[in-house]
Amino acid sequence: MTEVKKIKVEVAYARSVDQQAILEVAVPEGTKLEDAVEMSGVYKRYPEVDLNKHAVSIFGKKAKADTVLNEWDRIEILRPLQVDPKTARKEKAERDKAKAEAASAAES
C-alpha cells in the first residue's frame, strides 16, 4: 500500500478587521482548492463562506476552485466588495477637488 504524501496549506478568511483566521491544514498531495477549504473547517467556523459567492486567491492571485495546490499555498477567501472601486475613486476625487477649492478660496 502506497502512502499518500501530505502537504501543508493555509486557508485565510477575514470576516472583519477584528475577526480573522489563518487555518493550517495538511492535505493529500494533488488536493484541489475547494477540497482544502472544506478540510480546513472554515465552513463550520464561518457559515457565511460560500465559494459560489466568494472569490478566492492564492497569494493574492485569483484562483479557481479546481486549482491543484502546492506545498504552503495560502488560499485567501475574499469578501465581496462593499463599495465599487470606480465609485470610491470618483467620490475621493470630488472630495479632494472640493477641499482644494476651499483652501484656495481661504487664501484669497
**60 in a domain, yes or no?**
yes
Tally of CA atoms within 13 A in the half-sphere of 46 that contains its CB? 23
**89 in a domain, yes or no?**
no
Torsion of the alpha carbons at 69, 41, 16 and 94, rounded to the nearest 10 = 40
**45 in a domain, yes or no?**
yes
Structural domain of residue 71, as residue ranges? 6-81
SS3 58: strand
**87 in a domain, yes or no?**
no
Q: What's the CATH number where 62 sits?
A: 3.10.20.30
Question: How many Cβ atoms are within 10 Å of 69's Cβ, its own excluded?
Answer: 22
**101 in a domain, yes or no?**
no
**53 in a domain, yes or no?**
yes
Name the residue with higher pLDDT: 101 or 49: 49
Q: Of 47, 43, 5, 51, which is closest to residue 23 (Cα–Cα)?
A: 43
Q: Per-residue confidence at 81, pLDDT binned at 50, 70, 90?
A: confident
Q: Report pLDDT digits (tens) over 26-54.
A: 999 999 999 999 999 999 999 999 999 99
In this prediction the pTM is: 0.74
